């Protein structure tokens, strides 16, 4: 089932949405066949109001709650004030999708095979 995951600032954990409803919260989550989604209208509102809102997600198949350490994973980040998309933290390259994404309890996001759509 298609799952949207975002970091919940109020609960200090990851919120898991299915069919538009939050169905669970977790300290860590693993998503397969992941896409990184930023809603442009939500980002525009953040830029205009200088106030955070939920508009960026990792979308894919919920593989499991928790994560496995993966030495080949690359760190991914998103900052609405710098770009309208997710990026590889080290290189700054745009990222749209990855085969596996691990969302950790320290708020970090790590991906296997992250790439931009052609």
Give the pLDDT confidence score for residue 16 in this predicted structure. Answer: 97
The full length of the chain comes to 118
- Output the pLDDT for position 71: 77
pTM of the model: 0.91
Beta carbons within 8 Å of 18's beta carbon, 6+ residues apart: 1, 2, 3, 4
Contact assessment for residue 61 and residue 32, using Cβ atoms and an 8 Å cutoff: yes
The whole-number pLDDT of residue 91 equals 95
Contacts of 11 (CB under 8 A, 6+ apart): 25
Question: pLDDT, tens digit, for every residue of 39-79?
Answer: 999 999 999 999 999 999 999 999 877 666 777 899 999 99
pLDDT in tens, 8-28: 999 999 999 999 999 999 999
Which residue ranges make up each domain of the chain? 2-112
Name the region of 92 (left: φ>0; alpha: ψ -120 to 50; beta: rest).
Answer: left
């Amino acid at each position: 089932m298609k799952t949207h995951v975002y970091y919940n600032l109020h609960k200090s954990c990851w919120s898991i949405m299915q069919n538009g409803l939050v169905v669970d919260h977790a300290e860590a989550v693993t998503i397969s066949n992941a896409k990184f989604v930023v809603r442009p209208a939500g980002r525009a509102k953040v830029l205009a109001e200088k106030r955070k809102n939920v508009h960026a997600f990792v979308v894919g198949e919920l593989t499991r709650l928790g994560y496995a350490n993966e030495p080949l994973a690359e760190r991914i980040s998103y900052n609405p004030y710098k770009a309208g998309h997710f990026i590889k933290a080290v290189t700054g390259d745009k990222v749209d999708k990855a085969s596996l994404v691990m969302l950790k309890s320290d708020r970090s996001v790590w991906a296997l095979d992250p790439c931009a759509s052609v």
